Structure 1
Amino acid sequence: MDDTTNQADAAGEQRCGFVAIVGRPNVGKSTLMNRILGQKISITSRRPQTTRHQVMGVKTEGDTQTVFVDTPGMHIMGKDRNRAINQFMNQTATQALRGVDCVVFIIDRTRWTEEDQIVLDRLAPLEVPVILAVNKVDWLKDKSTLLPWLEQVAGKRAFTAILPISAKNGTGVDALEAEVGRHLSVGPHYFPSDQVTDKSERFIAAELVREKVMRQLGDELPYQMTVEIEEFRDEGRVVHISALMLVEREGQKKILIGEGGERIKQIGSEARIDMERTFGAKVMLKLWVKVKRGWSDDARALKSLGYDFEE
C-alpha cells in the first residue's frame, strides 16, 4: 500500500476513496467530520442519534480527494425496535459500509459498551482497513489509564491503527487523516474540487433547524420530530426559506412553540445565523409547527420526508 501510494504521488496521479465514520450514538462522528472539513456539514448535539441520514463530506487537497461518510449511530433499539425511524437509522449506518476503502471506528475514551460491541460485530465481515479512533481523550481525568486501555482494545480486532484523538479540539486529527490517506486508491475524483457535500442546501437548512430544536429542548421533546423545507428560494443576496416542523402530538407542538411563541422564535433566530454563515447570504426564515401523527413509525411517511429505505 505504501509503495503504491508513493508511486502515485510521484507520478502526480489522482487518488480518491470513500471512508465510513461509524460508532455508537454520541461518540463524536459528526464533530469529527466537521473538524476535518473545516465547516459544519453534519449537525451535532449532546443528544444521541442526532444524525439520522448518511451524509457525505468531501475534502479535496491537490490530487487527493477523500469522501467521508458520516452515519447514524448504530444502537440497540429496545422497545423502539419496531419503530420505522429507528430501523431506518440502523439500516443507513450499515449500508454506509458498502464499497468503502476504509473505516474509521470511533469510541469514547476508555469506555466500551454493548453498542460498541454491536458496531465491532458489524465490521467483522469487512476486509478493508479499520482504524480505531479513541475520541475525547482530552476529557480523561487520569491520562495514565490511556495506554493500558489502548493495549487492551487492540485485542478486540486486528485494527490497521489505533489513534487517540479529540474531534472537538483537533488533537490527533491530522495523524488520523494521514492514516486514512494511506488507504485511498489511485483513480479519478468523484466530485468537483469545490464541492464539500453530496447534500442539497434544502437538506442542510432542514438539518440546521432540527439541530437547534435538539440543542434547546433536550429531553423535553421526544425523537418524533423532523423538519421539512417547503420553500427554498435563492434570490442571490437573499435566500427565502420556509420550514415546517413535524411532531406527533399537540403537547409536543406546544413545547416547540413555547410560551408566547418565544421558543420557536429563538430556534428560528439561531438557525438563521447558521444558515447565513453556511449559504453566504441574508436568510429570511419562516418556521411553523404541524402535528402529523405516527410519521416516525410509517415507512411511507418517512420516505415522503426524505428518509429513503434501500434494499
Structure 2
Amino acid sequence: MSQTCGFVAIVGRPNVGKSTLMNRILGQKISITSRRPQTTRHQVMGIKTAADAQFIYVDTPGMHIMSKDRNKAINRFMNQAATQALRDVDCVVFIIDRTRWTDEDQAVLKRLEHVNAPIILAVNKVDRLNDKGDLLPWLAEVGARREFAAIVPISAKHGTQVDTLEDEVAKHLPESVHYFPEDQITDKSLRFMAAELVREKVMRQLGDELPYQMTVEIEEFRETERVTHISALILVERQGQKVILIGENGERIKNIGREARLDMERVLDTKVMLNLWVKVKRGWSDDERALKSLGYDLD
C-alpha cells in the first residue's frame, strides 16, 4: 500500500479549541491551552503517523479582527502567522463554536475564500449544547455559507467524533513519502516548549490581569545526566504587572514555577530544576525588532 502524507492547517477565531483539538489528536500536549483568547501565538506543528498515513497538523494563532486594544505588532504577527499557515496545505480544518457565529468567524471564512485546499468545518464543544435538537438546523445554516468538504460536530475536550474528523482529513492526504520519522511528534524544540509551558501557567493564573503584555524567554537550558536546568525570564511591560505576577511574598510566582516544572518533567521525562525571573521590558509587544529577538519571527 502506498504512503500518504500532507499538511493540515487548523484555523479559527481565538478560543474555539484549536490547540485542544491538536493535543487530543496527538494524544499528548504539544500546544499550550488556557481559557484566555490568543493563548497560541506561533504556528505549532504536530505530527501523527498512523500506519501508512502521516498527518502534519499546524496549530495556528486565532485569527482576529484588529481593534483599538488589539492593534499592536504582536497582533499583526499572530494574524500573519495564521494566514501564512494556509499556504500550500493539503487540507484545512476550520473550527467554530457550537451554535454561535461571530464577526470573527466571518472574517476567518473571508480569509479562506482564496484557499484551494479542501476545507472541513469542525463544530466544536457540542457536548455543551443543552438541546441537541438545535444542532441539525445549525449545521444546515453554516453549511450554506460555503461549500465544505465535510462538516463534523466534535468535542475536542472529550474526544467526541475526533476520529471521524481524522477520517475525513485522511481522504485529502496526497500520496507521498513521509517527511518525518514515525516517532517524531513536533518540529518545536524542547527549549520552545519549556517557554510555552511557563507562559501557559501565567495565562491560566493571570489571564484577566495580564492579558497580552507578557512573554517568556529561556535563558538557560542545560541537560545533565539526572537533571535538566532551566532558567526562564518572564517579560512584562509595566512595573505594576511585575508586582501582580510575583504576588504577595512571592507566592504567585512560586505556584507558576511549581506547575510549570511538573509539566516540564512529564514532557522531558526527567527531573527539572526551574528558576524564574520577572523583568519589565516596556513596549516589547509593539516593537517588531524586539518581537523578532524574542522568537516572534515568521521566517
TM class by smaller structure: over 0.9
Deviations 1:235-294 (A, max 9, x none): 133111000000001000000100000000000000000000000000000001000011
Deviations 1:7-61 (A, max 9, x none): xxxxx22210000000000000000000000000000000000000000000011
SS of structure 2 residue aligned to 1:131: strand
Contact 1:21 1:70 in 2 (8 A): yes
Contact 2:126 2:155 in 1 (8 A): yes
Contact 1:131 1:160 in 2 (8 A): yes
In structure 1, how many angstroms separate the alpha carbons of the residues matched to 2:64 and 2:187? 25
In structure 1, how many angstroms separate the alpha carbons of the residues matched to 2:48 and 2:229? 29
Verify: 1:293 aligned to 2:274, yes or no. no
Match for residue 237 of structure 1 among 226, 238, 251: 226
Specify the alignment match of 1:79 in structure 2. 68
For 1:287, the aligned partner's letter is L
Residues 235/190 of structure 1: CA separation in 2 closer, same or farther (3 Å cut): same
Q: How does 1:11-26 map to 2 (within 5 A)?
A: 12-26=1-15
Specify the alignment match of 1:57 in structure 2. 46
Q: Once superposed, which parts of structure 1, at least 4 consecutive aligned residues long, lie more than 3 Å away?
A: none
TM-score, normalization by structure 2:
0.99
Deviations 1:42-82 (A, max 9, x none): 00000000000000000011221100000000001201454
For 1:264, the aligned partner's letter is I
Specify the alignment match of 2:130 in structure 1. 141
Q: How does 1:126-205 map to 2 (within 5 A)?
A: 126-205=115-194
In structure 2, how many angstroms separate the alpha carbons of the residues matched to 1:35 and 1:134? 15
TM-score, normalization by structure 1:
0.95
Contact 2:203 2:211 in 1 (8 A): no
Provide the alpha-carbon RMSD of the alignment.
0.8
In structure 1, how many angstroms separate the alpha carbons of the residues matched to 2:282 and 2:107? 31
In structure 2, how many angstroms separate the alpha carbons of the residues matched to 1:264 and 1:298? 26
Q: How does 1:208-287 map to 2 (within 5 A)?
A: 208-287=197-276
- What is the CA distance between 1:191 and its match in structure 2? 1.0
In structure 2, how many angstroms separate the alpha carbons of the residues matched to 1:274 and 1:34? 14
Specify the alignment match of 1:303 in structure 2. 292
- What is the CA distance between 1:222 and its match in structure 2? 2.8
For 2:19, the aligned partner's letter is S
SS of structure 2 residue aligned to 1:212: helix
Structure 1 unaligned regions, length at least 5: 1-11
In structure 1, how many angstroms separate the alpha carbons of the residues matched to 2:225 and 2:293? 29
- What is the CA distance between 1:131 and its match in structure 2? 0.2
Deviations 1:100-131 (A, max 9, x none): 00000000000000000000000011121100
In structure 2, how many angstroms separate the alpha carbons of the residues matched to 1:300 and 1:309? 13
Q: Percent identity?
A: 77
In structure 1, how many angstroms separate the alpha carbons of the residues matched to 2:134 and 2:52? 40
In structure 1, how many angstroms separate the alpha carbons of the residues matched to 2:257 and 2:122? 35
